[in-house]
Chain A
Amino acid sequence: MHLDCGIQESRPDMIEMIDEAITYIVEVDSKRAPQYKLSCIVKCAKQIFSVLLESKARSLMLDSESSASSVTNSADYFLPALIYVVLKANPTRLYSNISYISRFCNPKRLMTGEGGYYFTNLCCAVGFIERIEASSLNLSEEEFERYMSGEVLPPGGGWEGGVWLCEGMRLLRQNTKALHDLSQREEKLFTHAVELKQEMLLFQGGDGIVLGNLDGCGYVSGREDGERVGETGVQEVDSHKDREVVRTNVFSNGAIMYEGKDGGVSKSQVKSVWWRVRACEGGVSRVGATDQGVVGVVQEGGD
């Protein structure tokens, strides 16, 4: 951590102790009278001192060259630790509570006593957080930017565990991911929409499913018990003969669509219900070329 507050945040028992300090500072908001709020701050500060002491005791065990333990308790260590706790705790209405205390607490008690001292430190912590910038964290401008934008996560054991990942940071990451997902899906949707539009252009003739199609077919003919299907159909079909058709689509609802070589689409409708039914029953496999190069949709008495 760039505050160098000497808290070993990776240890579970440490986390518990820090949690206790956080609980105290969060409690400030729930108290009504300024002196009670103040006493919460004092409790929080005391807890921070025991955290620092514990941290120091541990590092002393590991590293005997550390300086005298008494120095641990100085403000040099306390203030960064307090800033750390305030950041972790993100207490509700902290600023309002500070203003409230400074306005309504007895100034004599506030400015001289122990409570006043810790309160002042809290003000300092808030002041520091307010105007936090790269230089105050010994970071380069780019590094700071990257941390602030959530692009990179701070190093250190506790942060990697995920448990201690600050809530805001977690949300930030989650949202960034969600946004990324969304933009991908939007892109997908867009390409689908384009595809659909193209298909719709093809389907313009009818709203049924394509039963079948045949490249290069000029017209559709069919027979009903050996007879030609209703004239309409044939006539309609015939009218497309002049066109150089590259593709013929037959739809289940009886629509027939011809795609011309020039890119134009013309359509005809076979009105006979029977035909339609037949067409449906015929299915894709029934649509095929006859020896004359027509699309036959009729099953019985075929061409």
Chain B
Amino acid sequence: MSSNQGNLGAFNFKVVLLGEGCVGKTSVVLRYIEDKFNDKHISTIQASFLTKKLNISGKRINLAIWDTAGQERFHALGPIYYRDSHGAILVYDITDEDSFQKVKNWVKELRKMLGTRVCVCIAGNKADLERDRVVSREEASRYAESVGAKHYDTSAKQNHGIEEMFLDLSQRMVEVAEQNEQGQAQLRPSGSTVQVIDDSEKPEKTGCCS
């Protein structure tokens, strides 16, 4: 986790998007990033790996958002995706009870594999389809709270709740990272080992090129 704070004091966070297929993971992230790009650009860029630069109270944050394939057949590959991630956004469809069950599975798995280091947000997407809702907001919120996550109603279509969700997640990730930094600083008197590895790569690179 020492890699959070990269050069120039910016935080680099990896955020994975998890959820069943067709719940709108990609739409959510596209809506979020869209502020920077116009519609035409969106259709030509790929949307499965996106980055976003944020500035929260003077702290620079680089978000790398990883979209994942949601089909059930790829479920077993999850650990490869969320390894070393700092945050996770679990998306479900409020009109689909199954997708909410999937989210619960993901939470269990994440907590088991990554513990509390990972910040989790649960997004009830397609909030614009309120009349078809089958997952109650109270139930979802209560569940989210019980697992130490935040629940958001989002609508990628109407651009609702997404900005807040990412902002909150980023803030929490900063908190966790700062706690970690402190914890590690106490545990490890000389924190230069990582630096050494980083430096050693540069001469090696020039050697290869020449």
| A positions within 8 Å CB-CB of B | 32-33, 35, 45-46, 49, 53, 69-71, 73-76, 78-80, 106-108, 111-114, 117-118, 120-121, 123-124, 127-128, 131, 135-138
Complex-state Cα separation, A230 to B46, whole angstroms: 104
A112 touches B73 (CB 8 A): no
Complex-state Cα separation, A90 to B67, whole angstroms: 25
A and B contact pairs by CB, cutoff 8 A, 19 listed: A53-B43, A70-B26, A76-B26, A76-B69, A78-B69, A106-B198, A106-B201, A108-B3, A111-B3, A111-B14, A111-B84, A112-B62, A114-B49, A117-B48, A117-B66, A124-B69, A124-B74, A124-B81, A135-B73
A76 touches B201 (CB 8 A): no
Contact with A along B5-20 (1 / 0, CB 8 A): 0100000101000000
| Closest residue on chain A to residue B24 by CB atoms | A71
Residues of A within 8 A of B77 (CB): 124, 127-128
B80 close to A (CB within 8 Å): yes
B47 touches A73 (CB 8 A): yes
Complex-state Cα separation, A53 to B52, whole angstroms: 23
Complex-state Cα separation, A85 to B198, whole angstroms: 33
Residues of B within 8 A of A112 (CB): 3, 12, 14, 62, 64
A120 touches B3 (CB 8 A): no
| B positions within 8 Å CB-CB of A | 3, 6, 12, 14, 21-22, 25-27, 30, 42-49, 51, 62, 64, 66-71, 73-74, 76-77, 80-81, 83-84, 197-198, 201, 205, 208
B42 touches A70 (CB 8 A): yes
Shortest CB distance B201–A (Å): 5
Complex-state Cα separation, A6 to B64, whole angstroms: 26
Complex-state Cα separation, A128 to B51, whole angstroms: 26
A74 touches B73 (CB 8 A): no
A108 touches B6 (CB 8 A): yes
Residues of A within 8 A of B22 (CB): 76
A73-B48, A112-B12, A127-B80 given; 16 more Cβ-contact pairs under 8 Å: A32-B208, A33-B208, A35-B205, A69-B43, A74-B25, A75-B69, A76-B25, A78-B48, A79-B74, A106-B197, A108-B3, A111-B3, A111-B14, A112-B3, A120-B66, A138-B73
A74 touches B64 (CB 8 A): no
- Known contacts A70-B42, A75-B48: A117-B64 contact under CB 8 Å: yes
Complex-state Cα separation, A69 to B47, whole angstroms: 11
- Known contacts A79-B74, A111-B84: A73-B6 contact under CB 8 Å: no
Complex-state Cα separation, A94 to B29, whole angstroms: 31
Q: Which of A32, A33, A74, A135 contacts B47 (CB 8 A)?
A: A74
B26 touches A71 (CB 8 A): yes
User: For the complex, would chain A's binding face be called helix, strand, loop or mixed by DSSP majority?
Assistant: helix
B80 touches A74 (CB 8 A): no
| Closest residue on chain A to residue B194 by CB atoms | A108
Residues of A within 8 A of B30 (CB): 70
- Known contacts A106-B198, A117-B48: A74-B26 contact under CB 8 Å: yes
| Closest residue on chain A to residue B69 by CB atoms | A79
Residues of A within 8 A of B47 (CB): 70-71, 73-74
Q: Which 7 A-B residue pairings sit nearest by Cβ, starting from the closest?
A: A74-B26, A79-B69, A75-B67, A117-B49, A75-B48, A49-B46, A136-B73
A127 touches B76 (CB 8 A): yes
Interface centre among A49, A79, A114 (most CB of B within 10 A): A79
Complex-state Cα separation, A135 to B73, whole angstroms: 8
B3 touches A74 (CB 8 A): no
Residues of A within 8 A of B68 (CB): 75, 79
Complex-state Cα separation, A263 to B199, whole angstroms: 96
Complex-state Cα separation, A124 to B77, whole angstroms: 6
Complex-state Cα separation, A123 to B81, whole angstroms: 9
Complex-state Cα separation, A107 to B73, whole angstroms: 28
A73 touches B208 (CB 8 A): no
Complex-state Cα separation, A171 to B69, whole angstroms: 33
| Closest residue on chain A to residue B77 by CB atoms | A124
B76 touches A120 (CB 8 A): no
Residues of B within 8 A of A74 (CB): 25-26, 47-48, 67
Complex-state Cα separation, A53 to B41, whole angstroms: 13
Residues of B within 8 A of A35 (CB): 205
B49 touches A76 (CB 8 A): no
